[in-house]
Amino acid sequence: MRFNERKEFLYDPELFTLADTQTALGIYAEYVRRHSPRPLPKFMEVDRGSARYDALWHVPLDERTAFSRVIDMPCIIQFERPDWRLTRVGIVPSQKHKVTMANNVLRDPAIDWFPQRGDMMFYNGYRHMIVNVVLDPSAFWQQTNVWMGLVCETVIPAEGDARPLLDVGNAAPREIMQTRPLPEV
């Protein structure tokens, strides 16, 4: 989803134009850029328009997930301690990661992206799935409604018995969405 298409996390445009707010957003974006891992994580925006879902079970019918674009973006990644659960399959580890993204970086015309649940991230040799997009309570500029950055909670989804990809860092040709022109308004 494009940054301006989102419905949540809105703020007053008058507050956003103030010089101190712009300075604070710039400092926060520079902090995220400086402490981002190298190479930059790749974020894959899932193409929800071309996906087909089963009407009964609400599962994707396509063999592979279709991505509309792949974005290299700076962010800060925090690892949490793994949680080991005993299931019918056996002991299964699950580990959440918190990915912090800056407002100015998301609004950048080269990126222009707002993360959604289900989008993917490739980092450290694994594909991570975004399960939640939240605003950190400490990431607001003073007592205003202007947020400096947001946090995406990600997990490494279970692969199951799907066919493995040769190079998980690069999208397969079927996953790459052909660009189509935007409709004229």
Q: Tens digits of per-residue pLDDT, 125-177?
A: 888 888 888 888 888 877 777 888 899 999 887 665 344 444 555 665 555 65
In the chain, domain spans: 13-50+64-155
Which CATH code fits 13-50+64-155?
2.40.10
**Amino acid identity at 180:** R
Q: What is the mean pLDDT of the chain?
A: 78
34 CB-near residues (< 8 Å, 6+ apart): none
Distance CA 134, CA 110 (A): 23
